[in-house]
Amino acid sequence: MRSKFAEILLIEALKNNNLLLLTGDLGYGVLDKFMKEAPGQFFNCGVAEQTMIGVAGGLSSQGKKVFVYSIANFPTLRCLEQIRNDLVYMGNNVTIVSVGAGFSYGSQGYTHHGIEDISVMRCLGKLKVYSPADTHELEAIMPEVITSGSTSYLRLGKGGEPLIHKNSLSNVNQPILFQEYSSSSTSKLVGILSCGTIGAEILELPNLHKGEFNYKAYSVPVLDKEHIKEFLLDKKFDLVITLEEHVLAGGFGSMLLEVNSEHHLNLNIRNLGIKNDNLETNGSQSYLRKIHKINAVSIMKFIEQNL
Amino acid sequence: MSKSRTYTELAKMAGPVRHLILSINNSAKSSHIGSSFSVVDVLICVYSYIDKNHENKMILSKGHAAAAMYAVLANFGKLNEDLTTIYCADGGKFSGHVSHFVHKDINLSTGSLGHGLPYGTGISLAKKKGENSGKVFVIMSDGEMDEGTTWESALFANHFQLDNLIVFIDRNRLQSLSDTESTIKLEPLKKKWKSFGWQTYEVNAHSYKEIVKLIEKVLVNQTKPVCIIANSIKGYGISFMENSVKWHYRSPNDDELELGRIQLKEKFE
C-alpha cells in the first residue's frame, strides 16, 4: 500500500511542482524513486516530527500542497499540537501520511502500534480522515486528497495487504459493499462495517459461517459522518457491527455511535476493536489481531453473541 | 507598500504603543505586560519592514505578547477596532495570545511556545525554493530556548541554508517562574546559535538606532540564517514592572495604571 501511495504521488508531483513531500527520515525503499525523480520536491526533515509539521504549515501558507510521511505515531501523536495549531487551525493544505496502521508493525512493539490515531485525529474537527483497506481504495482516495484544500490524514497499512475489492473503485465516500451472504429472507441481517486494512479479516468469514444469519460487509475508507448517516438511514439491518484495528475509545465505532445518537437512528450497533489490555504481548500482525480478538474467528463469535 | 520610516520616527512610537498596552492590560485585566514591554521596540522595528514590503513576513512566536502585537498594528493604522474595548473581550478576535484572525500580517496564531520558528522556517524554505523574495522574521522569547523545536529548526535552517530567515530572541532573562539561568541554563546562548551554523549578533532591544542599523546590515549581507539576541528588560518603561517575574502575570490596577502613565510620559516624551 505504501508503495502504491508513493507511485501515485510521484505521478502527480511530476505534473505539479507545487506538490511537496516531506519525510521524517523514513521511507527507505519506498520513497527512493520520488527522491530521484522529483528531487526539488522532496525534503528529508530528519528525525524531527514536530518541526516537520511546522515547516509543512509554513510551506503550505505560501501556496504549496504538502504531504508529510512517517510511520505509526510519529507524524500524529508525537506532533499533535503542531497539527492542531499550525495545520488545522491555520487551515493549511497538508496531508499527513502515516504508514503502519494498527498492528502493521506488530512485532516491532507497542511504540510502533498505530492504534489511537483515528480518535486523536478525528477529534480535531476540520481534518478529514482516510483509512483505506486496500490499494483499490487508496487509488480512489488519492485524487480527493491531492485536490482537497484542507488538512487531511491518510492512514495506510504497510505492504502486501490483500485486495478486498475485485475491481477498481470510483466513489469511496459511501461505505462500499465487498462481501455478502444471504440464504433465507427470514434470517436476521447483519451489517458489518469495517475501517482500514482489518477488512481483510472479513474475507475469511465464509469459511467460518454456519449460515444462521445473513450479512453484508462494507468497507468505510472515508470517515465522514454525513455520508455514514445517509447510508444508515437507507439500510435496514437487524444488527450493525463495526470493526477496526484501533482502540474502541473515540475511533470508527465511536463515530457510528455518535451518528446513531445525534440523528436518533435507534440502531443496534456493537463495536469490535482493541481494548487497552495485553499491551505487553508482542507478535506479528495476525497474532496480535488474534489475541486482541479482532480476527475473523473473533468477528464471527462477536456477531453470534450480539444477535 | 507604505513609506519607509527612519529609526527616529519609529522611536516615537515607543511611548504611545506602551500607553496602549498599559491601558488594554488594565481594562481587560489581562497578563503578560512585562513580556510585551520587553519586546515592543523590536516588534515596532520589525513590523516597519513588513509594512514597507509585504514580501517580508513576520511571526511573533512569543504569542503571550499579543497586546504588543495588536498595539503595534493599531499604531501603524492597521486596525479599525478600538483596542481598549475589544482586547480579550467576549465575541472578539483579539485573544490574549496572538490570533491570525486579527490581521493578514499576522502569519501564525501563537501562544504555545516553540511553534513560530518551525513555521517561519517553512515559509523561508518556500521562499528560497520559489520565486518569492523577502525575508522572514521570527521573534522569539528566551524561554522558548527550552523547547526542542527551537533546536530542531536551528539545525534545519542551517542545513537548508536559509539565508532569508532572521530570528530575534527577546533576551529579557526572565521566564515563567524565575530567571532563565536558574530555570534551564541557556548561556552561552550566542555561541550555541553560532555553533549551529547561524550568523549571530547582539543588540540593545530598546535602541531603535541599533536595531534598525543591524537589520539594514543583515539585509545587505545575509549569507546564512541570522540570530539576533536582543538584550531587553522585562517590563521596560515602568520602573515597578522592570525585571519582575510578578509582572509576567499581573495586570495593572487603576492606581498602577495612573502611576504607569506618568512614568511612561516622563520616559518617552
Per residue in A81-132, pLDDT (tens digit) is: 999 999 999 999 999 999 999 999 999 999 999 999 999 999 998 999 999 9
Contact B121 A51 (CB under 8 A): yes
Model pLDDT, residue A125: 86
Phi-psi region of A154 (alpha: psi -120 to 50; beta: other; left: phi over 0): beta
Contact list, B164 vs chain A (CB under 8 Å)? none
pLDDT digits (tens, 9 = 90+) for B154-165: 999 999 999 999
Contact list, B109 vs chain A (CB under 8 Å)? 85, 89-90
**Does any CB of chain A come closer than 8 Å to the CB of residue B70?**
no
Contact list, B121 vs chain A (CB under 8 Å)? 51, 54-55, 58
Taking domain A2-156, whether its CATH number is 3.40.50.970 is answered by: yes
CA of A231: how far to CAs of A5, A140, A255, in Å?
Answer: 28, 19, 14
Alpha-carbon distance A31 to A7, whole Å? 9
What chain A residue is nearest to B58 in terms of C-alpha separation?
Answer: A58
Per-residue pLDDT of chain A (307 residues; tens, 9 = 90+): 999 999 999 999 999 999 999 999 999 899 999 999 999 999 999 999 999 999 999 999 999 999 999 999 999 999 999 999 999 999 999 999 999 999 999 999 999 999 999 999 999 989 999 999 999 999 999 999 999 899 999 999 998 999 999 999 999 999 999 999 998 878 999 999 999 999 999 999 999 998 889 999 999 999 999 999 999 999 999 999 999 999 999 999 999 999 999 999 999 999 999 998 888 899 999 999 999 999 999 999 999 999 9
Grid cell locating A216? 453484508
Q: Choose from A17, A60, A62 for mutation: most chain B CBs within 10 A.
A: A62
**Does any CB of chain A come closer than 8 Å to the CB of residue B131?**
no
Q: How far is the alpha carbon of A175 from chain B, nearest alpha carbon, in Å? A: 37
What chain A residue is nearest to B131 in terms of C-alpha separation?
Answer: A62
Contact B149 A54 (CB under 8 A): yes
Contact A187, A121 (CB under 8 A): no
Model pLDDT, residue A184: 80
Q: Choose from A55, A68, A82, A85 for mutation: most chain B CBs within 10 A.
A: A55
Contact B156 A51 (CB under 8 A): yes
Comparing A255-259, B225-229, B242-246, the range with the smallest average pLDDT is: B242-246
Name the pLDDT band for B65 (thresholds 50, 70, 90): very high
| Domain map (residue ranges) of chain A | 2-156, 176-306
Which has the closest alpha carbon to B187: B125, B237, B145, B238?
A: B145
Q: Which CATH number fits domain A176-306: 3.40.220.10, 3.40.50.20, 3.40.50.920, 3.40.30.10?
A: 3.40.50.920
Contact B45, B39 (CB under 8 A): no
User: Given strand B136-141, what is the order of strands in its sheet?
Assistant: B57-60, B136-141, B165-171, B226-231, B199-204
pLDDT digits (tens, 9 = 90+) for B19-42: 999 999 999 998 899 999 999 999
pLDDT of B1 higher than 70: no
* CA B149 and chain centroid, separation: 18
pLDDT digits (tens, 9 = 90+) for B167-186: 999 999 999 999 999 999 99
Contact B108 A90 (CB under 8 A): yes
Angle between helices A2-15 and A135-147 (to 10 degrees): 30
The DSSP secondary structure of chain A, one letter per residue, reads -HHHHHHHHHHHHHH-TTEEEEESS--TTTSHHHHHHSGGGEEE--S-HHHHHHHHHHHHHTT-EEEEEEETTTTTTTTHHHIIIIIITTT--EEEEEE-BBTTTGGG-GGG-B-SHHHHHHTTSS-EEE--SSHHHHHHHHHHHHH--S-EEEEE--S-PPPSSSS--S--SS-EEEEEE-S-TTS-EEEEEEESGGGGGGGGHHHH--SSSEEEEEE--EE-HHHHHHHHHH---SEEEEEEEEESTTSHHHHHHHHHHHTT----EEEEEE-S--TT----HHHHHHHTT-SHHHHHHHHHHH-
Contact B153 A89 (CB under 8 A): no
Model pLDDT, residue B56: 97
Angle, alpha carbons B168-B169-B175 (nearest 5°)? 155
For residues B92-106, give the mean pLDDT: 97
Model pLDDT, residue B53: 95
Q: ipTM of this predicted complex?
A: 0.95
The total number of residues shown for chain B amounts to: 269
Model pLDDT, residue B249: 87
Contact B123 A61 (CB under 8 A): yes
| The one-letter amino acid at A121 | M
**Does any CB of chain A come closer than 8 Å to the CB of residue B104?**
no
Contact list, B149 vs chain A (CB under 8 Å)? 48, 50-51, 54
Domains detected in chain B: 7-268 (3.40.50.970)
Domains A2-156 and A176-306 share a fold: yes
pLDDT of B73 higher than 90: yes
Share of chain B above pLDDT 90, in %: 94
* CA A135 and chain centroid, separation: 12
